[in-house]
Structure 1
Amino acid sequence: MEHVLRQTLIALALAERMGLDETDRAAVYYSSLLVNVGCHTDAHEQAKWFGDDIALKSGKYDHEIGTLREVAAGLRLIGAGNPPLQRIRVGLEFAVSGAREISAMISHHAQLAQVFAQRLSLPASVINALGACYEQWDGRGTPGDLAGEQIPIEARIVQIAEFIEVALRTGGLAAATEMANRRGGKQFDPALSRLICTAGEHISSGLDTVHTWDSVIESEPALAVVLSPEQFDSTLVAIADFVDLKSPYTLGHSRAVAELASNAGERLGVPSDDVRSLFRAGLISGFGRLGISNAIWDKAGPLGMGEWERVRMHPYLTERMLARSDVLAPLGRVAAQFRERMDGSGYPRGLAGSAISTHARILAAADSYQAMCEPRPHRSAMTPELAAQNLRAETAAGRFDPDAVEAVLGAAGHRTRRRIEGPAGLTAREIEVLRLVARGLSNKQIADELVISKKTVGNHVEHVYTKIDANSRAAAGLFAMQNGLLPE
């Protein structure tokens, strides 16, 4: 917890010691906050090969990067959570195609972090640093294009700060100094390693006593950036898109829920400020999904009791994520209730009736309707007509607010389907293939779905990736959302 916040304070202390000016320190600041923002974007693939993607990430700092111990630790997790025979099958599949898929993941993380920074209109120095934060001083990093002083100083600082934070927290200053000394000249810039060894006590001073959130906010090196309401909304849309990348089953879900909820609010005659709040609450409602493993979200079979208990936590996690921001906390309180039900059967708190806010009732109806119209691991997408029928049946059973449901269904009924113009020169067939690739289907599954040969699918996928300048499912999913191709 608070790993990124603490590593940012360490990175800023290093930047100051290195004599970086305010502009360069600002690049360090934002690069540190965003360095791992893409790590959940292939959680679907991580869960497919290793079981619990969150458990997989927890072992990142246990072994030196690229060592046999690191490789062995990863191999031991292949097929985790499955019966023995299933683990063997997953292992064989991994040997055929999984290893190549996994080896490209870190590069994809860096590329998507750069895309995210661009969407936030951050300066080129931040974007360049994010692309190089997984490089190593000895040239054995990822993607392995840079070495030594070719790596931007901001990236070198962020990388060592990330690992030193973990060492400080788990082993104290002695462990951090030992790591810096051992990895200096290999993974880390030797000058930064020496700085940790000689000034580590100063650099880490106060980390365990300061209020980390406030300290990070107050430490922004450049003048504070103030967003207009429109820029604030655009920023939330960018974050929501990246959260939705966690699973191919939720691509574009948050955007669609936000639009449905705000349109429904207008139909109910709520004030314009409340309509905007509904839109924003819809965008942030899925943030807590990041705290739940894709071994649960993407499971095709029924969930066990323990798995359901974890699912019930995600609205609460959303609320806690946003609680320390005066601007976002009220939205978090609405989103914390969007899985509550009028009869008390919802979660996480089992609220009922008037205890559920009007905004949350609208959001609940919008989320439920939109989810039914999207595919899930255990079922295909429902038609809008069937989704509306099911939602009305749930309302008749006392679980949803009737006015909120009718407003949402009215908004859905008046939404016109966007005409596909073929972004990036995609043909109609390539758009179909892109949607299925983004949903996580294999070439064979796409071939079965479209009744074409696997070889033809492979050609389509190659053309699609070339046209949209992508090389991963997550990047394809992001392109599809940004261009209105998902949800359909």
Structure 2
Amino acid sequence: MHPTRALHGSTAGLRRAELLAAISLAIDLGLGQPMEHMLRSSLIATRLAERMGLDAQRRATVYYANLVGWIGCHADSHELSGLFGDDIAFRADTYGVDMTGLPFLRLMLGHVGRGLPGWERAIRTTSFLLTARNRVAALIQSHCTSAGVLSDRMGLDRQVGEALTCIFERWDGRGMPKGVGGESIPLEIHIVRLADVAEVHLRSGGVEGALEVVRARRGTQFAPTVVDAFERDAAAILDGLLDIDVWTAALARAPDRDRTLDSGEADELLRAMADFVDLKCPCSPGYSRGVADLAAAAARSMQMPSADVVRLYRAGLVHGLGRLGVSNHIWEKKGKLSTAEWERVRMYPYLTGRILSRVSGLESVVSLATRHEERIDGSGFPRGVTGAELTAQDRLLAAAVAYHQLLEPRPQRPALDRTGAAEQLKQEARAGHLDAESVQAVLAAAGHRVPRRSPYSAGLTAREVEVLRLVAQGRSNREIAAELFIAEKTARNHVERVYAKLGVSNRTQASLAAIDRGLVGFAGEAATR
């Protein structure tokens, strides 16, 4: 049964416009822009479209073509990184030039082979010069195709997907992939392209800075009629955009701002988001769906409440959204990551939370999605929280993510087979990084044969079970130390580790956990014989 089919109404209040706006925040990160760049440029675009007299349907196309227009660029991050190194830095720099002619060529050459030894960079530069147009055209063709497909998958109107096929075309016909120009390009796209660039230069140079760039590209990148309409009323179009609550203002302009989703519609959109994220790295198509399905299956096997099954499924789908904020130059690096690079990787769950926390109705999903890299011994990231702070659902999602990551190839190692992944996951549990009970549930859900649950569940050692039984009897740390002939400090350390593994914070909770696991009373005694 589908994880959410039995929970009709569980997404009450979840609006499609908010989810699409959240996707735009992830797109911003991949463009090297601050979050809300696309939301702010959508406000510019819709204000401009109104002044040009576009009807409601065409304004809707402008709004969403702007919001998700660059969604396809993440699908070719692998190829872009292969050409220019840091794909995010390259995209950010493109806003500073008119993307044609010598300025654009100089920009591309400045990124080709960056960071490589001089001789290797020279070889790559020469090779790029010989094939530049064809290679860039192939990337842009991929972008446009991917943008249209992803737009359709997200349930946007057909007109949006059709318009996005021209997102790289120019008024002067020097764009790609088809080289069409003038009025052969939808007016909506002419508006979108201007708004996207104007927003970046508004932030760096104010209204005059935005106007200067727009005027300079009149009749080349931008349509003269669109530039003229923008120039006539630029102050009003750009008014207050750097001061207002952009999220609220942009959602107020969303064509379908009042449309709420039922459970099935919500999951379909979340699955589209998952697929969008997985395109970031070619080694992981279907990765997020696999994590979601596995986490939900494991939760059902542990007889978790149906609401928790749904939360785990949805968190599995979107847990990797923050990966778009990390360059493929880092994700695909074969050597050791630098301190700065590793810190960037450690931040991606935090970025996931930043993106999704804006969506009303996803709060419980966000709390799970941001903790999937945490470990019960505190060795995880981004916050390094320990077992006492991690719920059973947190631990289960972490195990499901870890299992699927082991099945993926990495620059430093090939993908493990199912047996190898299972053994590695068990080792992580034995080392106290992952919760043993969660690991067992994940492996069982993945189809592995697992032994009957050990009495020492939650990864407790035999000594820790002894300590837990004494805690349940109300013994103090000093009394535990005397009973086991160990130092009081050692007893205290054992107690703290037991609490962390069980996810509890006091003796009462520890006692109840011991009872639940059969570690005290007759069952617990029998288990040691």
TM-score (normalised: structure 1): 0.82
Aligned to 2:244: 210
Which residue, out of 175, 181, 187, partners 1:147? 181
Return the alpha-carbon distance in structure 1 between the equivalents of residues 66 and 133 of structure 2.
28
**Equivalent residues of 1:43, 1:53 under 8 A apart:** yes
Shift of 1:95: 4.7
**Aligned ranges 1:266-285 → 2 under 5 Å:** 266-285=300-319
Shift of 1:107: 2.4
Is residue 158 of structure 1 aligned with residue 157 of structure 2?
A: no
Q: Which amino acid in 2 is paired with 1:309?
A: E
Return the alpha-carbon distance in structure 1 between the equivalents of residues 161 and 420 of structure 2.
45
Return the alpha-carbon distance in structure 2 between the equivalents of residues 393 and 10 of structure 1.
54
Aligned to 2:388: 354
Is residue 12 of structure 1 aligned with residue 46 of structure 2?
A: yes
**Aligned ranges 1:232-243 → 2 under 5 Å:** 232-243=266-277
Return the alpha-carbon distance in structure 1 between the equivalents of residues 253 and 212 of structure 2.
28
Q: Which amino acid in 1 is paired with 2:373?
A: R
Return the alpha-carbon distance in structure 2 between the equivalents of residues 386 and 97 of structure 1.
42
Aligned to 1:101: 135
**Equivalent residues of 1:180, 1:194 under 8 A apart:** no
Aligned to 1:55: 89
Distance 1:9 1:304, change over 3 A: same
**Aligned ranges 1:62-73 → 2 under 5 Å:** 62-73=96-107
Q: Which amino acid in 2 is paired with 1:18?
A: M
Deviations 1:391-422 (A, max 9, x none): 1111011111111111100010169xxxxxxx
Return the alpha-carbon distance in structure 2 between the equivalents of residues 169 and 107 of structure 1.
30
Is residue 80 of structure 1 aligned with residue 114 of structure 2?
A: yes
Aligned to 1:430: none
Aligned to 2:401: 367
Deviations 1:309-331 (A, max 9, x none): 11111111101111111223332
Shift of 1:87: 2.2
Distance 1:100 1:149, change over 3 A: closer
**Equivalent residues of 2:97, 2:104 under 8 A apart:** yes
Is residue 410 of structure 1 aligned with residue 444 of structure 2?
A: yes
Q: Which amino acid in 2 is paired with 1:412?
A: A
Return the alpha-carbon distance in structure 2 between the equivalents of residues 288 and 374 of structure 1.
18
Is residue 313 of structure 1 aligned with residue 347 of structure 2?
A: yes
**Aligned ranges 1:169-180 → 2 under 5 Å:** 169-180=203-214
Q: Which amino acid in 2 is paired with 1:278?
A: L
Distance 1:147 1:99, change over 3 A: closer
Aligned to 2:284: 250
SS across alignment from 2:380: coil
Q: Which amino acid in 1 is paired with 2:314?
A: R
Q: Which amino acid in 2 is paired with 1:88?
A: A
**Equivalent residues of 1:319, 1:329 under 8 A apart:** no
Shift of 1:114: 0.5
SS across alignment from 2:53: coil
Report the structure number with the largest CA radius of gyration.
2
SS across alignment from 1:380: coil
Aligned to 1:127: 161
Gaps of 5+ in 1: 416-488
Aligned to 1:336: 370
Aligned to 1:303: 337
Return the alpha-carbon distance in structure 1 between the equivalents of residues 70 and 172 of structure 2.
21
- How many residue pairs match? The answer is 415
Return the alpha-carbon distance in structure 2 between the equivalents of residues 49 and 149 of structure 1.
33
**Equivalent residues of 1:375, 1:382 under 8 A apart:** yes
Return the alpha-carbon distance in structure 2 between the equivalents of residues 272 and 25 of structure 1.
41
Q: Which amino acid in 2 is paired with 1:148?
A: G
Return the alpha-carbon distance in structure 2 between the equivalents of residues 280 and 53 of structure 1.
28
Which residue, out of 274, 289, 296, partners 1:262? 296
Return the alpha-carbon distance in structure 1 between the equivalents of residues 378 and 269 of structure 2.
34
Q: Which amino acid in 2 is paired with 1:47?
A: S
Aligned to 1:197: 231
Shift of 1:145: 4.6
Return the alpha-carbon distance in structure 2 between the equivalents of residues 104 and 266 of structure 1.
45
Deviations 1:70-92 (A, max 9, x none): 11111021111222233234335
SS across alignment from 2:358: coil
Deviations 1:239-266 (A, max 9, x none): 1111111111222211111111111111
SS across alignment from 2:165: helix
Which residue, out of 55, 64, 88, partners 1:21? 55
Q: Which amino acid in 1 is paired with 2:259?
A: V
SS across alignment from 2:74: coil
**Equivalent residues of 2:295, 2:313 under 8 A apart:** yes
Deviations 1:287-346 (A, max 9, x none): 111111111101122222222111111111101111111223332221111101010111
Deviates more, 1:337-346 or 1:302-311: 302-311
Distance 1:381 1:93, change over 3 A: farther
Return the alpha-carbon distance in structure 2 between the equivalents of residues 257 and 99 of structure 1.
39
Which residue, out of 306, 322, 333, partners 1:288? 322
Identity %: 43
Shift of 1:223: 5.8
**Equivalent residues of 2:137, 2:177 under 8 A apart:** no
**Equivalent residues of 2:94, 2:107 under 8 A apart:** no
